[in-house]
Structure 1
Amino acid sequence: MSPFRITRTLPEDASRAALRADVVAGLADRPRSLPPRWFYDARGSELFDRITRLPEYYPTRAEAEILTDRAGEIARASGARTLVELGSGSSEKTHHLLDAMPDLALYVPVDVSESALRGAGRELSGRRPELDVHAVVADFTGRLELPEGPGPRLVAFLGGTIGNLEPAERERFLRSVRELLSPGDALLLGTDLVKDERVLVRAYDDAAGVTAEFNRNVLRVVNRELSADFRPELFDHVAVWDPAAEWIEMRLRSREAQTVKIPTVDLVVDLAEGEEVRTEVSAKFRPERVREELGAVGMEVTHWWTDREGRFALSLGVVR
Structure 2
Amino acid sequence: MEPTKVQSEGGLNVTLTIRLLMHGKKGETVKKMREESGARINISEGNCPERIVTITGPTDTIFKAFAMIAYKFEEDIINSMSNSPATSKPPVTLRLVVPASQCGSLIGKGGSKIKEMRESTGAQVQVAGDMLPNSTERAVTISGTPEAIIQCVRQICVVMLESPPKGATIPYRPKPTSTPVIFSGGQAYTIQGQYAIPHPDQLTKLHQLAMQQTPFTPLGQTTPAFPGLDASPPASTHELTIPNDLIGCIIGRQGTKINEIRQMSGAQIKIANAMEGSSERQITITGTPANISLAQYLINARLTSEVTGMGTL
TM-score normalised per structure 1:
0.24
Structure of greater relative contact order (alpha carbons < 8 Å, 6+ residues apart): 1
Tell which structure's C-alpha radius of gyration is larger: 2
TM-score normalised per structure 2:
0.24
